[in-house]
């Protein structure tokens, strides 16, 4: 009987200490897939210049993105990596006057996959 009381007392003591110390438990993680778009606009000028701009940070170099999501009351975060991408049909606009002869806009869609983890679960 004394052994059982000691064990229960020790278990209660550990539980109380853990609640004050906020000891992290095993991290929770899950996989996500997201799509991100980027529009490339190429402008052709009458003086021969050709300039391409992008809607996402003015670059087409996005091999990975940081991502966070709220799940179960906790913020989960991680890095998503580009797995595939597709290009839409280019849309051309021709100009008859001014310094621009035409613009060509192409929409790209990137598929990103990765794991989000929350290491802030506590016991």
Of 13-22, 35-44, 67-76, 85-94, the least confident: 13-22
Q: Which of 93, 87, 102 is nearest to 43 (CA)?
A: 102
Residue 96: the pLDDT is 87
Residue 14: the pLDDT is 52
d(CA 67, CA 29): 13
Residue 31: the pLDDT is 92
Residue 22 DSSP code: T
- Please determine, for residue 32, whether its predicted confidence score (pLDDT) is greater than 60: yes
Q: Which of 68, 57, 45 is nearest to 119 (CA)?
A: 68
Look up tokens 């050709």; give the residue.
Answer: 50
Residue 7: the pLDDT is 58
d(CA 29, CA 77): 9
Residues 89-123: pLDDT tens digits? 999 999 988 999 999 999 999 999 999 998 665 54
Band (9; pLDDT cuts 50, 70, 90): low
d(CA 116, CA 47): 49
DSSP-assigned beta bridge partners for residue 104: 42, 92
Share the mean pLDDT of the chain.
83
Average pLDDT over residues 52-64: 95
CA 48 from centroid of its chain's CA atoms: 38
d(CA 121, CA 97): 63
Name the percent of the chain lying above pLDDT 90: 63
Q: Are the C-beta atoms of residues 121 and 73 closer than 8 Å to each other?
A: no
């Amino acid at each position: 009987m004394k052994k059982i009381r000691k064990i229960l007392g020790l278990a209660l003591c550990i539980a109380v200490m853990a609640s004050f110390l906020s000891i992290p438990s095993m991290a929770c993680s899950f996989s996500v897939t997201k799509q991100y778009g980027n529009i490339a606009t190429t402008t052709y000028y009458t003086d021969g210049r050709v300039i391409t701009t992008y809607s996402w940070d003015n670059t087409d170099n996005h091999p990975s993105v940081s991502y966070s999501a709220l799940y179960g009351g906790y913020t989960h975060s991680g890095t998503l990596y580009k797995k595939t991408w597709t290009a839409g049909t280019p849309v051309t606009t021709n100009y008859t006057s001014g310094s621009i002869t035409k613009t060509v806009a192409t929409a790209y869609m990137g598929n990103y996959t990765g794991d989000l983890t929350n290491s802030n679960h506590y016991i």
